[in-house]
Structure 1
Amino acid sequence: MATVTPGNSEFDRDTAVVRRAPGVYDAQLSAGWTIIHAVNGGYLLALMGRALGDTLPHPDPFSVTAHYLTASVPGPAVIRTEVVRTGRTMSTGAATLVQFKEDGTEVERLRVLASYGDLDALPDDVRTSAKPPALPPYEHCLGTDSAPEGQPPIPGSTAIAGRLAVRLDPATAGWAVGAPSGKGEMRGWFGLADGRDHDPLSLLLAVDGMPPTAFDLGLSGWVPTIELTTHIRCRPAPGPLRVALTTRNLAGGFLEEDGEIWDSRDRLVAQSRQLARVLLDS
């Protein structure tokens, strides 16, 4: 058996997996990354990404698509991986995460299909019309310890909030004081509370680590992810990330959320789209 983890930060420890056999990994889902009672989807994606990175011959996630089947809970889990295809520059793998009920019944929580490659081997040519979000300076944005104009601090009662360094653009934080803009936007600075530098695995966390855009639409409560696709475009430079999330359409109790993540060198390092369910009666 071999533990698969490259570092000793809290994120690395909590996303460590133990290779029990080829393609079979034991994991411990930490209660520190929960929202209400469910484990955060970005944290789960990073956990799956670590197991797939150990399985596949290429080191870095390029495209990861996850379907969240049932809510994961803190405790033991098993990840099973499969090599679907390998090539010279890219490989494709699949993975499932399962947990067990008290009677031993297996419950599948998450299923992933991913393409891996080597980010360091990509050419430097960039042609883009995308621009990083215009955020106020870090110190002028709002964290869980902030209180805009004497109002209560940004809500941060979920366990995951203590593991993240998130500072929200005040223009998208009105929901925290009962005044959402209704635009369906969320922008802010994103980092890990212990100061760990970002890498492709932490980008998988970041795409689902901000408050949901549903809050800016005036909704509250849990917004569970149904499907999440993430594209990792390059290895992020040291420093906090800037995250911009938008939604344009809420219909039938579901919304889409499009995400862009930019690093300290103004590079678009990750993009995402997810379909999420809005619990309108929450």
Structure 2
Amino acid sequence: MDMGAFREAVSVVRRGDAYEADLDPQWSVGGKLHGGYLLAVMGRAVCDGVGGDHPHPSVVSGLFVAAPTPGSAEIHVESLRTGRSTTQARARLTQGGAVRVEALITLERLEEAGAWWAGLEPVDLREEHECPRTPLVVPGGEFPVPLMEVVEQRLDPDHLGFLSGSPSRRGVVAGWHRLADGSDWDPLSLLVALDPVPSAGFDLDLPGWAPTIQMSAYIRRVPAPGPLRVRTYAADVTKGRMDETVYAWDSKDRLVAQATQLAAIRMPA
């Protein structure tokens, strides 16, 4: 396997009634496999198993039961319904016979066309070359993020106040995203972009790992080639739980995907 290349990292092989995956340790954060990456692997299995005339994931709702480890895993796909415009399925990622992630996935045939109506303007960012690339160790963080070797992320300097100990406390982080292997974003890889690092908690002076408990993603259209603009913001932090809402626009300024997740977060003493 060419470690780091998205297409190889999410590849699956049919073995009897299940799919076998080799979970790539590069797609991880602080020693834990990235949630968006895990949903993309499961989405690959669902597309292969029941995709047919509906080749693209459009709705993905994932429940993260326990953190899987890099290496061998099985994905079990159950078809729930196939209609004229959508196919709905359930997927379970297991290791050692135990469920680690469960997802409900809707497949469609997405198009590249823009929206009939759009009420959300793309996030305003400095030029891509003016934004520093996020390194292997996230500034202000306590752990390495191998994900940053396979995703080229460039955060807008206006959202980097946490680096100097002066977060804006607006709960917003935004920047440019590309796949480091040079491939274009597609409906499957967008799931990675919708689970960005660092979390909005960094801008609230709450740095550290924010493991996803549940994540719901909506893929709206096939993205144009080029970088994504991604904006993440939090609306409420209560009792060690933080919501995050993410929007992603393609190089033609079209909203291509959005997601909401509930994450665990360490609160100040």
TM superposition score category, shorter chain reference = over 0.9
Give 2:110's aligned residue.
119
Give 2:10's aligned residue.
15
Aligned residues: 265
Give 1:244's aligned residue.
231
Give 1:107's aligned residue.
98
Deviation (angstroms), 1:110: 0.3
Match for 2:68 among 67, 72, 75? 72
Give 1:26's aligned residue.
20
Match for 2:38 among 41, 44, 48? 44
Give 1:216's aligned residue.
203
Q: Does 1:182 align with 2:169?
A: yes
Any idea what SS the aligned residue of 1:113 has? strand
Structure with greater contact order relative to length (CA < 8 Å, sep ≥ 6): 2
Could you list the runs of 4 or more consecutive aligned residues of structure 1 that deviate by over 4 angstroms after TM superposition?
Answer: 122-125, 152-156
Match for 2:84 among 66, 85, 88? 88
How far, CA to CA, are the matches of 1:252 and 1:27 in structure 2?
35
Any idea what SS the aligned residue of 1:142 has? coil
Q: Is the 8 A contact 1:67 1:110 kept in 2?
A: yes
Deviation (angstroms), 1:107: 2.1
Give 2:129's aligned residue.
139
Kindly provide the amino acid, as one letter, of the partner of residue 39 in structure 1: L
Cα deviation, 1:99-125, whole Å, max 9, x if unaligned, reads 12xxxxx221100001111003x8755
Give 2:48's aligned residue.
54
Match for 2:179 among 176, 189, 192? 192
Q: How does 1:166-177 map to 2 (within 5 A)?
A: 166-177=153-164
Q: Is the 8 A contact 1:200 1:235 kept in 2?
A: yes
| CA 133–281 in structure 1, closer or farther in 2 if over 3 Å, else same | same
Match for 1:232 among 213, 216, 219? 219
How far, CA to CA, are the matches of 1:69 and 1:255 in structure 2?
17
Deviation (angstroms), 1:144: 2.9
How far, CA to CA, are the matches of 2:90 and 2:236 in structure 1?
30
Q: Is the 8 A contact 1:142 1:154 kept in 2?
A: no
Kindly provide the amino acid, as one letter, of the partner of residue 98 in structure 2: V
Deviation (angstroms), 1:76: 0.8
Deviation (angstroms), 1:277: 0.7
Kindly provide the amino acid, as one letter, of the partner of residue 134 in structure 1: D
Deviation (angstroms), 1:230: 0.4
Give 1:260's aligned residue.
247
How far, CA to CA, are the matches of 1:268 and 1:160 in structure 2?
24
Percent identity at matched positions? 39
Provide structure 1 residue ranges, at least 5 long, that are not aligned to the other structure.
101-105, 147-151
How far, CA to CA, are the matches of 1:137 and 1:77 in structure 2?
40
Deviation (angstroms), 1:177: 2.8
Any idea what SS the aligned residue of 2:189 has? helix
Cα deviation, 1:66-99, whole Å, max 9, x if unaligned, reads 0000012111100000000000111100000011
Cα deviation, 1:123-145, whole Å, max 9, x if unaligned, reads 75520111000000001112136
How far, CA to CA, are the matches of 1:202 and 1:229 in structure 2?
15
Q: Does 1:202 align with 2:172?
A: no
The Cα RMSD (Å) is 2.3
Provide structure 2 residue ranges, at least 5 long, that are not aligned to the other structure.
none
How far, CA to CA, are the matches of 1:260 and 1:153 in structure 2?
23
Kindly provide the amino acid, as one letter, of the partner of residue 136 in structure 1: R
Q: Is the 8 A contact 2:3 2:9 kept in 1?
A: no
Any idea what SS the aligned residue of 2:38 has? helix
Q: Does 1:163 align with 2:153?
A: no
Deviation (angstroms), 1:154: 7.5
How far, CA to CA, are the matches of 2:56 and 2:3 in structure 1?
19
Kindly provide the amino acid, as one letter, of the partner of residue 190 in structure 1: H
Give 1:103's aligned residue.
none
| Alignment TM-score, normalising by the size of structure 1 | 0.88
Q: Is the 8 A contact 2:4 2:27 kept in 1?
A: no
